[in-house]
């Protein structure tokens, strides 16, 4: 296919949304090492520095050959976003097969603790650092700190809707940390694709009961081809839904209630999506939930994070692109739209900047066309 050839030649470009980025690339072991350095900077709150590593990693991901001495001066030094420091690390890896700083970092108690703390649902780097400064080192320390014991009551699946009336909004962050800890082992267990599909089937069976014509796409890492996912992300659209008023949210709330009634949800909260601009108000709603498939003979129930995104017809396709990711692909898509096209893109819609005219794309490919971008398959958006 000619498009494929064009995309293949695009590994030199600065915008991640113009490059093909496979899930696993030729230089994966190098990226694992650089990934430790990226993560360390992110955990320490060094955002600019972290972004530099994130960009370098994304650029290398698109490079189609194994990095070697033969192509270092011809290709690698000319790749975008690879400054002197980064090239030094890559050269170090090339000559010694390792990166000293990555190994030191990996071995450090601080890095291990911050990584563990921030792997808890609802805990970011700033909280993780605070816990470390308070003397905590392990997840068990954290369970004691938050008073979560073996027998801590997790909200019962289906027993009641936790966020609806029992819990005040300002209690949710603390609640989600407690739930995140109580369910730590479950939520750490990777979700195989087959289970993602089962969850999708069950959710849509209930959604179609409410609105037979509704449509859906599983997005996130699943759509990018990951064999195992950390959560399940589903965009749900309804061709007949009215975008004015609260119909999108109403559909979301009805579905959440049905899922509670079926006994498969134990926690949910609605969030305003992205930068909610005037024109896009009420077009997109997201519910972050914790879900478990019904018990069956073979498997015991495992709690899973499930994100449901409800989209009006105007935003269905942009929501799909916005939630397919990756994070870096999305970042550059927004940047490309703004800087090169005079448009504003996010998952809640695509608008012209000078008059805020909202486009009404008819497919995912149509969004790429409007943005003046060549099509990139979801499995090649792992920037
Ligand atoms: P995630 O589910 O956080 O990540 P992921 O699906 O890429 O990988 P994982 O297996 O770890 O779940 O987010 C999915 C995509 O949705 C992400 O690439 C960017 C987008 N996104 C938003 O647009 N807004 C948000 O608030 C979040 C959390 C994600
Ligand atoms: Mn996901
Ligand atoms: Mn998600
Ligand atoms: Mn469980």
Tell me the average confidence (pLDDT) per consecutive run of 10 residues in the chain, 383 residues long: 56 96 97 98 98 98 97 96 97 98 98 98 95 98 90 64 44 73 94 97 97 97 98 95 81 94 86 53 85 81 94 94 98 98 94 92 97 97 98
Q: Is 247 in the pocket of ligand 1 (CB under 6 A)?
A: no
18, 61, 89, 344: which one is catalytic?
89
Separation of alpha carbons 376 and 279, rounded Å: 28
Which pLDDT score is estimated for 162?
A: 46
Q: State residue 378 phi and psi, 5-degree precision.
A: -50, -35
Which pLDDT score is estimated for 178?
A: 87
Q: What interface predicted TM-score (ipTM) does this complex get? A: 0.93
Using alpha carbons only, how large is the chain's radius of gyration in Å? Answer: 22
Q: Is 338 a catalytic residue?
A: no
Separation of alpha carbons 322 and 334, rounded Å: 10
Atom of ligand 1 nearest to the CA of 322: 23
Tell me the CA–centroid distance for residue 354 and ligand 2, in Å.
33
Record: fold of 2-107:
DNA polymerase; domain 1 (1.10.150)
Which pLDDT score is estimated for 278?
A: 52
Atom of ligand 1 nearest to the CA of 307: 2
Domains of the chain, by residue range, sit at 2-107, 109-182, 191-322, 323-380
Domain 191-322: top CATH class: alpha beta
pTM equals 0.92
Q: State residue 285 phi and psi, 5-degree precision.
A: -135, 140
> For atom 15 of ligand 1, which residue has the closest CA?
323
CATH topology identical between 2-107 and 191-322: no
Atom of ligand 1 nearest to the CA of 224: 7
Which pLDDT score is estimated for 149?
A: 79
Tell me the CA–centroid distance for residue 303 and ligand 4, in Å.
5
Say which CATH architecture domain 323-380 belongs to.
2-Layer Sandwich (3.30)
Separation of alpha carbons 130 and 153, rounded Å: 26
């Amino acid at each position: 296919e000619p498009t494929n050839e064009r995309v293949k030649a695009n590994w030199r470009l600065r915008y991640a949304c113009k490059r093909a980025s496979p899930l696993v690339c030729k230089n994966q072991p190098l990226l694992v090492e650089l990934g430790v350095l990226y993560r360390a900077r992110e955990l320490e709150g060094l955002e600019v520095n972290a972004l530099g590593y994130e960009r370098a990693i994304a650029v290398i991901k698109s490079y189609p050959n194994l990095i070697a001495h033969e192509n270092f001066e011809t290709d690698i030094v000319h790749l975008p976003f690879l400054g002197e420091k980064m090239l030094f690390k890559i050269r170090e890896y090339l000559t010694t097969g390792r990166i000293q700083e990555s190994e030191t970092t990996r071995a450090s108690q601080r890095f291990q603790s911050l990584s563990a703390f921030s792997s808890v649902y609802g805990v970011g780097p700033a909280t993780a650092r605070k816990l470390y400064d308070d003397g905590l080192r392990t997840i068990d320390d954290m369970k004691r700190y938050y008073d979560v014991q073996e027998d801590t009551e997790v909200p019962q699946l289906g027993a009641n809707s936790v966020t609806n009336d029992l819990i005040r909004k300002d209690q949710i962050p603390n609640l989600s940390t407690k739930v995140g800890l109580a369910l730590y082992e479950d939520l750490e267990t990777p979700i195989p694709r087959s289970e993602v599909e089962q969850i999708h089937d069950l959710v849509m069976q209930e959604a179609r009961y409410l609105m037979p014509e509704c449509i859906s796409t599983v997005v996130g890492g699943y759509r990018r081809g990951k064999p195992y996912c950390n959560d399940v992300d589903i965009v749900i659209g309804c061709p007949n839904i009215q975008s004015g008023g609260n119909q999108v949210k109403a559909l979301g709330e009805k579905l959440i209630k049905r899922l509670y009634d079926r006994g498969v949800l134990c926690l949910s909260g609605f969030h305003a999506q992205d930068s909610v601009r005037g024109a896009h108000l009420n077009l997109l709603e997201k519910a972050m939930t914790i879900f478990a498939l019904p018990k069956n003979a073979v498997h015991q129930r495992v709690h899973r994070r499930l994100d449901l995104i409800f989209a009006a017809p105007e935003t269905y396709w942009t929501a799909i692109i916005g939630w397919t990711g990756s994070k870096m692909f999305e970042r550059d898509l927004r940047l490309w739209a703004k800087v090169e096209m005079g448009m504003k893109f996010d998952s809640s819609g695509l608008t012209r900047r000078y008059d805020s005219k909202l486009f009404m794309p008819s497919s995912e490919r149509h969004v790429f066309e409007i943005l003046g971008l060549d099509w990139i398959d979801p499995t090649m958006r792992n920037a």
